[in-house]
Amino acid sequence: MKKECIAMLLAGGQGSRLYVLTGDMAKPAVPFGGKYRIIDFPLSNCTNSGIDTVGVLTQYRPLELNSYIGSGQPWDLDGSTGGVHILPPYQGSKGGTWYKGTANAIYQNIGFIDLYDPEYVVILSGDHIYKMDYSDMVARHKEANAACTISVMEVPWDEASRFGIMAVDGDDMITEFAEKPKEPKSNLASMGIYVFSWKALRKYLTEDEADPNSENDFGKNVIPAMLNNGERMAAYRFDGYWKDVGTLVSLWDANMDMLSPESGLDLSDESWPIYARSVNAPPTFLGRNAKVTHSAFNRGSDIQGTVENSVLSPNVVVGEGARVSYSVLLPGTVVEPGAVVEYAILGEGCRIGRDCHVGGTPESTAPEPWGLTVLAPGCAVESGKRVAPGIMLSRNGEEVSK
């Protein structure tokens, strides 16, 4: 079945910079915004952009992600001529290997892509929160007659050295690419979203695979090789909300951004819905003494205490007299009466005992350094215990260092 354009979603990331929070799941399966998983964003963008065929490359701890994606029905990706496909590494007749890098992951699935004989392939990453119309980007790619189009956004100059930076000419064609340059020549950062003409990409992937010195990575190897060979490389400028939520702080930030649509992250816009596989639970109940302000909650929760500047996932319990502020509570967490949770991310199914105090404000630790408090999924904190700011606890309640 020929398709003009299909998407390949790199969802194999270990999420090592999310430390204990990922538990047994791959990073793209991490809950976000009280309702979503990170992967809902690229999947919904695909369906809203008219891309009905998506390959999801998985590798580490894929069980939760696989069962979450299921048939793809929540994203309307269960069509009979395309839909979402989970693509783990596999053994062929000549053996098989783990995905060695982002480019190798696509290389190992050339067979899958060839099934659809596409003109264009969109390469996406599974750890970004953003809303983007990929069909606009593909249009830019066609119009520029490019072999590769990279979406870029302007970042503050003083942060530019943390990104892959593109230098462009007057037509926004890429002239130079530098990974984390010390002296950036531009402030256009790559967002890790690419459109390739499949013929060109297929050739470069094959060459890259044959090079024993290559790390088989798009940013480090494939893109520079294409540039060196004088391929037409276009930049696609994006100015909406975009955040890489690969770290605990950025994940927390993005959740807080969701509370303020001024941040640019407006999830209530019905013209570009973000779909999710939703849990089946009754509406949330707010008790007589509940005080909820500048916060979001989802289904199945029971809130009796105070919740401020926080994001609550489904089936959360906040007991009488408890206070949750500037925190992100993942599904099924319980904060018992009288407990305080501040500036924390609590993993799925955590239980905070009565009168515990978890985390603290940035002011509270001055002049000592401060950090978010993070609890692994399933972690239980005994009543009355104090968990200081910046501490990370494993499932068994043991302190883990970053």
For another protein, the binding residues (CB under 8 A) are 33-35, 73, 258-259, 267-268, 273-276, 278, 280-299, 311-312
CB of 178 to another protein, least distance (A): 38
Residue whose C-alpha is closest to residue 172's, from 147, 149, 196:
149
CB of 131 to another protein, least distance (A): 12
Considering beta carbons, is residue 75 or 370 the nearer one to another protein? 75
Considering beta carbons, is residue 115 or 290 the nearer one to another protein? 290
CB of 335 to another protein, least distance (A): 17
Q: Is the peptide bond before 367 cis (omega within 30 degrees of 0)?
A: yes
Considering beta carbons, is residue 34 or 371 the nearer one to another protein? 34
Phi, psi at 292, each rounded to 5°? -115, 120
Considering beta carbons, is residue 36 or 236 the nearer one to another protein? 36
Q: How far apart are CA 15 and CA 176, in angstroms?
A: 29
CB of 80 to another protein, least distance (A): 15
How many whole angstroms from its chain centre is CA 148? 23
Question: What burial class does residue 119 get, using C-beta atoms within 10 Å of its C-beta: 0-12 exposed, 13-18 middle, 19+ buried?
Answer: middle
Considering beta carbons, is residue 40 or 52 the nearer one to another protein? 40
CB of 229 to another protein, least distance (A): 44
Other CB atoms within 10 A of residue 124 CB: 25
Return the half-sphere exposure (C-beta side, CA atoms, 13 A cut-off) of residue 238.
25
Q: Are 147 and 200 in contact (CB under 8 A)?
A: yes
CB of 353 to another protein, least distance (A): 22
Q: Are 346 and 327 in contact (CB under 8 A)?
A: yes
- Which residues of 330-370 form beta strands (DSSP E)? 334-335, 340-342, 344-346, 351-352, 357-358
The strand pairing partners of 164, in sequence order, are: 179
What's the full length of the chain, in residues?
402
CB of 309 to another protein, least distance (A): 9
Q: Are 141 and 234 in contact (CB under 8 A)?
A: yes
Considering beta carbons, is residue 60 or 275 the nearer one to another protein? 275
Report the first-to-last Cα separation within the chain, whole angstroms. 47
- Which residues of 97-168 form beta strands (DSSP E)? 120-125, 128-130, 148-154, 164-168
Considering beta carbons, is residue 228 or 280 the nearer one to another protein? 280
DSSP conformational letter for 221: I
Considering beta carbons, is residue 10 or 318 the nearer one to another protein? 318
CB of 265 to another protein, least distance (A): 10
